């Protein structure tokens, strides 16, 4: 994607297709069967954690953030952070895995790009 197009899309958050790419593809009727199964599931909610809460709290204490802000997905057990058992059914789902990875990669790039641009 052209950088100027991407920057423009980023400035207009309602147009940013990467914030919820599965919904974007769904609106275009471009989802395959596996992607449709993820849409509107607990796994889909996990992929789309609220970015505002994520950024502010994860800087302070990532573990505490996960436990406090996303308790429906994470819990503490024997001093370990664990995933909700409901996510287990998605662990071998390649669409889920790819979307989680894409989301993490996108947010990481955004974080460092924004940090670099501010300096």
Q: In the prediction, which pLDDT does 20 show?
A: 83
45 lies in which domain range? 3-118
Q: Is the predicted pLDDT of residue 52 greater than 70, yes or no?
A: no
pTM: 0.59
Q: Decide if 9 contacts 34 (C-beta within 8 A).
A: no
Q: Cα dihedral angle (5, 13, 115, 101), rounded to 10 degrees?
A: -90
CA angle 34/35/36 to nearest 5° reads 90
Instruction: State how many domains the chain has.
Output: 1
Query: What is the rounded average pLDDT of the residues 114-119?
Result: 72
Q: Decide if 65 contacts 57 (C-beta within 8 A).
A: yes
What are the two backbone dihedrals, phi and then psi, of residue 73, each rounded to the nearest 5 degrees? Answer: -110, -30
């Amino acid at each position: 994607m052209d950088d100027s197009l991407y920057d423009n899309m980023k400035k207009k958050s309602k147009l940013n297709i990467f914030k919820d790419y599965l919904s974007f593809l769904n609106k275009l009727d471009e989802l395959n069967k596996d992607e449709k199964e993820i849409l509107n599931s607990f796994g889909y909610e996990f992929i789309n954690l609220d970015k505002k809460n994520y950024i502010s709290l994860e800087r302070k204490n990532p573990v505490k953030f996960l436990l406090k802000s996303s308790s429906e997905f994470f819990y503490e057990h024997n001093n370990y952070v664990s995933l909700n058992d409901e996510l287990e059914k998605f662990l071998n789902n390649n669409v889920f895995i790819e979307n989680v990875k894409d989301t993490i990669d996108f947010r990481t790039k955004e974080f460092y790009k924004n940090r670099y641009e501010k300096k």
